[in-house]
Amino acid sequence: MNIRLKNAVIMPKAGAEAFRGEVQIADGKIVYAGKQNDRMYFAAEREKDCRGNLLVPGFCNAHAHSAMTLFRGIADDLPLREWLFDRIFPLEDCLTEEDVYWGTMLAAAEYVRGGTTAVADMYFFHDTAAKALRKSGMAVALCCGTNDIGGGDVKEHLKTMESRYHAYEGKERLKYILGLHAEYTCSDALLEGTADLAATLGAPTYIHCSETLKEVGECSVRRGMTPVEYLHKIGFFDCGGIIAHGTYLEKTDIELLKEKNVTVASNPSSNLKLASGVAPVYTMLKNGLRVALGTDGAASNNALSMFREMYLMSCLQKERMKDAAAVSAESALSAATEAGYAALGFNGGEIREGKDADLVLIDLDAPGMRPRADFGKSLVYSADTSAVLMTVAGGHIAYEEGQYEIGEKIEEIYRNTERCIKRLREAAEKRA
């Protein structure tokens, strides 16, 4: 669909000056982003008057477990290990493909309601998750989270990983990233085998890493090195990649990650809620390491709001460094947009010609955006998802003023997710 968004205030990217103008979209791409030009002909099938509201780039959630929306609110106020092993893993053992579909659809609704247009999703039943998320037009990176903590044949794990990687090659706005759950849930053979596979394919990798002090301490005792040092040693990051969390990184870790062009997907809300810690984002950025933002899953966050992540990313660093100037609003907005897109290799994160049409219309009459001062700072420090009027993902209007166009009716999503979690709870109780 060709779309014209006129009479908008456009902020092309984090830190850029906003201007009054219009955006034209054709075949999912931005073909014009500039001053208002009512004399210029554009064959738009849909023309929207933005009424002077703010157009910003769509957000990229660089670390999520989408279908974990099913577990929202049922494993709260627990430390990570107990949360994961005693509550979450037993429920996940009972997951079906249908559960993942409806849980992911619920996440898709929450994503587009909050302006998220790209996501790195690490969970089960990849094909099903992709089917659900792509209905909204979002750009989707399916991140492998394999582990062999419960056993399994390493060769089969690697064979499956390689097969999936090739199955998604060349697909538009959809890709598969090799990876593992974490160093502590995988055998040496699987970790090293994945590193070798990534080198053979010339592919980046993805893994949870240095999330808790316990994880780093145990790895240091067991291996005589930090998780980052070990993964670097075996060549896990030789083709670049992403680590989720990075809550406990030494300066040497940061240097090694930068050397290998690895992005840290920071998850401030989840890390706070699980009392895992506060990542050294200021130090990462100061040393030139790219930092993106993610929400983690709704079972540990519990929201999928990039607004909240931006706010916490900035404000936690101010407290950590005892410096109110540390990690500006612009840095947080950049992490939530262009840094995430760059890390995942998608063509978005800013509003300009040639980029994918991933945009968010922000209500400048929302209380949190008044008085009208610095739009970027207001987005980070005072706005929330309620300020989102419209989300355009890949040229598809996925959300607009209370209406969802994501492939399923919102009432059906709610009904089916309630049914799925009821069955999962009953199944887990029977196994206990």
Q: CB burial class (10 A; 0-12, 13-18, 19+) of residue 43?
A: exposed
Residue 144 lies in a domain: yes
Strands 54-57 and 359-362: antiparallel
| Whether the Cβ atoms of residue 236 and residue 265 lie closer than 8 Å to each other | no
The pLDDT value recorded for residue 7 is 97
Answer yes or no: is 261 within a domain: yes
Torsion from C-alpha of 225, 226, 228, 231, nearest 10 degrees: 40
Q: Is 431 part of a structural domain of the chain?
A: no
Q: Is residue 160 domain-shared with residue 308, that is, in the same domain?
A: yes
b/e map 356-386, b = 16+ CB within 10 Å: bbbbbbbbbebeebeeeeebbbbbbbbbebe
Give the domain CATH number at 386. 2.30.40.10
Q: Are residues 391 and 276 in the same domain?
A: no
* Helix residue spans in 7-88 (DSSP H): 80-81
**303 shares its domain with 359:** no
Distances (CA, A) of 402 to 46, 108, 153, 391: 18, 14, 47, 11
282 and 269 belong to one structural domain: yes
Last residue of a domain, one of 325, 344, 363: 344
Q: Are residues 112 and 248 in the same domain?
A: yes
Q: Among 344, 362, 388, where does a domain finish?
A: 344
410 in any annotated domain: no
- DSSP per-residue string spanning 344-412: HT-S-SS-STTSB--EEEE-TTSGGG-S-S-HHHHHHHT--GGGEEEEEETTEEEEETTEE-SSS-HHH
271 located within any domain: yes
Written as tens digits, the pLDDT of the chain (432 aa) is 999 999 999 999 999 999 999 999 999 999 999 999 877 789 999 999 999 999 999 999 999 999 999 999 988 998 878 888 898 989 999 999 999 999 999 999 999 999 999 999 999 999 999 999 999 999 999 999 999 988 889 999 999 999 999 999 999 999 999 999 999 999 999 999 999 999 999 999 999 999 999 999 999 999 999 999 999 999 999 999 999 999 999 999 999 999 999 999 999 999 999 999 999 999 999 999 999 999 999 999 999 999 999 999 999 999 999 999 999 999 999 999 999 999 999 999 999 999 999 999 999 999 999 999 999 999 999 999 999 999 999 999 999 999 999 999 999 999 999 999 999 999 988 887
How many alpha carbons lie under 13 Å from residue 142 in its C-beta half-sphere? Answer: 27
DSSP 47: E
**Per the structure, how many domains does the chain have?**
2
- Domain around 381: 3-57+350-401
HSE-CB for 207 with a 13 A CA cutoff: 28
Q: Residues 262, 234: one domain?
A: yes
Q: What is d(CA 298, CA 210) in angstroms, rounded to the nearest whole number?
A: 20
Do 74 and 24 belong together in one domain?
Answer: no
322 with 232, same domain: the answer is: yes
Residue 71 domain-assigned (yes or no): yes
Residue 152 has a pLDDT of 85
What count of other Cβ atoms lies within 10 Å of the Cβ of residue 14?
25
Backbone angles phi, psi at 207, to 5 degrees: -160, 150
- Containing 182, the helix (H) or strand (E) segment is strand 174-182
Domain with 336 in it: what CATH number?
3.20.20.140
Is residue 430 domain-resident? no
Pick the closest to residue 312 from 297, 287, 295, 337 (CA basis). Answer: 295
Q: Both 127 and 154 in a single domain?
A: yes
pTM above 0.85, yes or no: yes
Same domain, 117 and 256: yes
Phi and psi, residue 196, nearest 5° = -65, -40
Same domain for 366 and 283, yes or no, is no
Alpha helical stretches, state H, 168-305: 188-201, 213-223, 227-233, 251-259, 268-273, 281-286
* Secondary structure class of 305 (helix, strand, coil): coil
**Residue 408 within any structural domain of the chain:** no
Q: Assess whether 319 and 368 both reside in one domain.
A: no
Chain centroid offset of residue 31 CA: 26
Chosen domain end from 327, 344, 361: 344
